[in-house]
Amino acid sequence: MKVEQISIFLENKPGGLNSVTRVLRDASINIRALSLADTSDFGILRLIVDDVAKAKKVLNENGFAVGKTHVIAVEVPDKPGGLHSILELLSSENINVEYMYAFVERSGENAVIIFRFDAIEAAIELLIKGGFTVLPGEKVYGI
């Protein structure tokens, strides 16, 4: 039920993001979701891609510092309160959200929220018990 995410550390300067996307394009790697956070000196680009191992390899070969972490993808109806219902359940069990980002599926009926938790196994168990759809990595990579 976990999804592999890569994180790339970028110097905060013009062209940094372009360099990453060029390497991925040239390797025919498709980006499924992304999040970019920055400070004055560097940024952290978090990506869900369709081929994690290949992306990590080609980015490393091109001089990028790349890490891999596990996140969870939760599918919810794309309507007001969808995110709140997840957060309410998590907070009831003291599970902390370290970060998150989201995208809407092609059908437009559901949103997929990518979460990083401090207690990933407990979060998966709680979300499934709570009736939420936790997507396997294979489904997310192919969206």
Same-domain pairing of 50 and 108: no
Query: Residues 6 or more apart from 14 whose CB is under 8 A from it?
Result: none
Q: List the domain range (segments joined by +) for residue 53.
A: 2-69
Same-domain pairing of 76 and 23: no
Q: Which residue has the tokens 């936790």?
A: 134
- Residue 76, beta-bridge partner list: 111
Q: What is the CA angle 5-8-9, rounded to 5?
A: 145
Closest CA to 72 of 101, 38, 31: 101
CA distance 8 to 120: 21
Same-domain pairing of 55 and 81: no
Same-domain pairing of 64 and 96: no
Same-domain pairing of 50 and 80: no
Domain boundary among the residues 39, 69, 99 is at: 69
Question: How many CB atoms are located within 10 Å of the residue 100 CB?
Answer: 17
Same-domain pairing of 77 and 138: yes
Same-domain pairing of 55 and 100: no
Tell me if residue 125 falls in helix, strand or coil. helix
Task: Please give the tally of structural domains in the chain.
Answer: 2
Domain boundary among the residues 46, 69, 92 is at: 69
Same-domain pairing of 77 and 61: no
The pTM of the full predicted model, rounded to 2 decimals, is: 0.88
Per-residue pLDDT of the chain (143 residues; tens, 9 = 90+): 899 999 999 887 788 889 999 999 999 999 999 999 877 778 899 999 999 999 999 999 999 999 999 999 999 988 899 899 999 999 999 999 999 999 887 666 788 999 999 999 999 999 999 999 999 998 888 88
Domain boundary among the residues 13, 38, 69 is at: 69
Task: Give me the CATH number covering residue 85.
Answer: 3.30.70.260
Same-domain pairing of 30 and 84: no
Same-domain pairing of 97 and 135: yes
The DSSP element (H or E) to which 7 belongs, if any, is: strand 2-11
Q: Specify the pairing of strand 31-38 against strand 42-49.
A: antiparallel
